[in-house]
Amino acid sequence: MTVSLRSTAALRLGLTGALVGALALLASGCGRARHGPFPVALVGDEGAFQTSGVRLSPAAQVLRAATVEGLVGFDAEGRVVPAIAERWIVTDDGQSYIFRLRDGIWPDGSPITADTTAAALRKAIAALRGTALGLDLAPIDEVRVMAARVIEVDLVAPMPDLLTLLAQPELGLPYEKRGSGPMGLRRDGRTAVLALIPPTRRGLPPQEDFAARSRPLHLEVEDAARAVERFNDGYVDAVLGGRIDTLPLAGVGGLTRGNVQIDPVIGMFGLMVDRADGFLADAPNREALALAIDRATLLGEFNVGGWQPTTRIVSPDVEGDLGTVGERWVAMDMAARRAAALERVTRWKAAGNPAPVLRVAMPDGPGSQIVLARLTTDFAAIGIGLVRVGEGSKADLRLVDTAARYGRATWFLNQLTCAIQKAACNPTGDARLDEARKAVDPRQRAALLGEAEAEMTAANGFIPIARPLRWSLVRSGVTGFALNPWGWHPLPPFAAVPK
Confidence of residue 50 (pLDDT cuts 50, 70, 90): confident
pLDDT for residue 27: 39
Confidence of residue 204 (pLDDT cuts 50, 70, 90): confident
Radius of gyration of the chain (CA): 24
36-50, 89-103, 397-411: which has the minimum mean pLDDT?
36-50
The predicted model gives 336-353 an average pLDDT of 98
The CA dihedral of 358, 359, 364, 365, to the nearest 10 degrees, is 0
Confidence of residue 19 (pLDDT cuts 50, 70, 90): very low
- Residue-wise pLDDT tens digits, 371-411: 999 999 999 999 999 999 999 899 999 999 999 999 999 99
Predicted TM-score (pTM) of the model is: 0.90
Q: Which long-range contacts (C-beta less than 8 Å, at least 24 apart) are formed by 282-287? A: 283/424, 283/458, 283/459, 283/460, 284/344, 284/460, 285/344, 285/345, 285/348, 286/424, 286/459, 286/460, 286/461, 286/463, 287/341, 287/344, 287/460
Is 50 exceeded by the pLDDT of residue 15? no
Is 90 exceeded by the pLDDT of residue 473? yes
Q: What whole-number distance in Å separates Cα of residue 294 and Cα of residue 334? A: 7
pLDDT for residue 1: 39
Q: What whole-number distance in Å separates Cα of residue 329 and Cα of residue 359? A: 26
46-50, 214-218, 287-291, 338-342: which has the minimum mean pLDDT?
46-50
435 in helix, strand or coil?
A: helix
Mean pLDDT score of the chain: 90
Is 60 exceeded by the pLDDT of residue 21? no
| DSSP annotation string for 385-418 | EEEEE-TTS--SEEEEEEE-SSSBHHHHHHTTST
pLDDT above 90 coverage of the chain, percent: 80
Could you tell me which residues are beta bridge partners of residue 184? 195
Q: What whole-number distance in Å separates Cα of residue 43 and Cα of residue 227? A: 7
CA 30 to chain centroid, in Å, comes to 30
pLDDT for residue 16: 31
Confidence of residue 47 (pLDDT cuts 50, 70, 90): confident
pLDDT for residue 428: 97
Is 70 exceeded by the pLDDT of residue 445? yes
pLDDT for residue 54: 87
Helix or strand (DSSP H, E) at 218? strand 217-222
- Residue-wise pLDDT tens digits, 104-153: 999 999 999 999 999 999 999 999 999 999 999 999 999 999 999 999 99
pLDDT for residue 372: 98
Is 90 exceeded by the pLDDT of residue 273? yes
